[in-house]
Each structure stands twice: as C-alpha cells, then as structure tokens.
Amino acid sequence: MNLNQITVPSIDLKKSIPFYKKLGLKLIVKALPHYARFECPDGKATFSIHQVDHLPTGDGIYVYFECENLDKDVAMLKEKGIVFDQEPTDEKWLWREARLKDIDGNQLVLYYAGENRVNPPWRINDVLV
C-alpha cells in the first residue's frame, strides 16, 4: 500500500486553484466548480481540492509537503506573496517546518525531515506492539 492522494475541502475552487499553483503544484484535472487535482513537483503523489458548502470546524486537516530546500522554497514563496504563520523552525521531533494556511484555512506544513521522516531515533522496529 502507498499513499497516493490527499483531498481537502474548499468553498471556492476558482480562488484555491491559483493558490496551489503558486505553491508549485501542477494542475492536472480541472472539473469546476466541484473538483481539481494537482501533481506534486517531486515524486508521484497527487493532491486535490473538492468543493463543499461548509468548511469543517476546529483545527481540521494538516497536510505536509516535504521540501528538499525548505528555507529557499519558503523565501521564493514569500516573494510570490504567500504568507506564512511560522517561519522555518527546527522542531524537537527533528524536522524543520514552516506553516501556513490555504485560502480555506486548511493547515499546510512545508517541511524537511531527511532520514528522520521515516527513521527517527525513536522509531519502533520489528516489535509487536
């Protein structure tokens, strides 16, 4: 099994599509007003948005996009007008993260974890839990 796609809700795809294109995702399906799908620039994962009448309440969804050159990518996105809630920060779980929200308030985290993404020092290996 492999995770292929994440879909997040949006009130207005006509506003959301340009935002995600500005982040660097490639639009591959445009079925307005209900659905749009993007390819991530690295790897084979896809990301989509679908129209809803009401957004979820609370913290909602967190979507993590890994960036090999996080600080450089954040600087480039800021030059394009993207606003971040948190600048790149070294976190105690050994990831470097920058946080922002999309047009609909979905939580986005751009991060770099390197080997620690799947092999942190506290990884459980071959242990029945």
Strand runs (DSSP E) across 52-114, as ranges?
A: 62-66, 86-90, 96-101, 107-112
Residue 128's pLDDT is 62
Residue 6: C-alpha distances to residues 38, 62, 94 (Å): 10, 10, 24
Q: Mean pLDDT, the chain, as a whole number?
A: 94
pLDDT tens-digit series, residues 74-118: 999 999 999 999 999 999 999 999 999 999 999 999 999 999 999
Tell me the domain boundaries of the chain.
5-117
Residue 52 pairs with which residues in a beta bridge? none
Segment 36-50 mean pLDDT = 94
Sequence-separated (6 or more) residues with CB below 8 Å from residue 67: 73, 74, 110, 111, 112
Residue 7 pairs with which residues in a beta bridge? 48
What topology does CATH give the domain 5-117? 2,3-Dihydroxybiphenyl 1,2-Dioxygenase; domain 1 (3.10.180)
Q: Considering just the CA atoms, what is the radius of gyration of the chain in Å?
A: 16
Alpha-carbon torsion, ordered 62, 55, 73, 99, to 10 deg: -50
- Residue 129 in this model has a pLDDT that exceeds 60: no
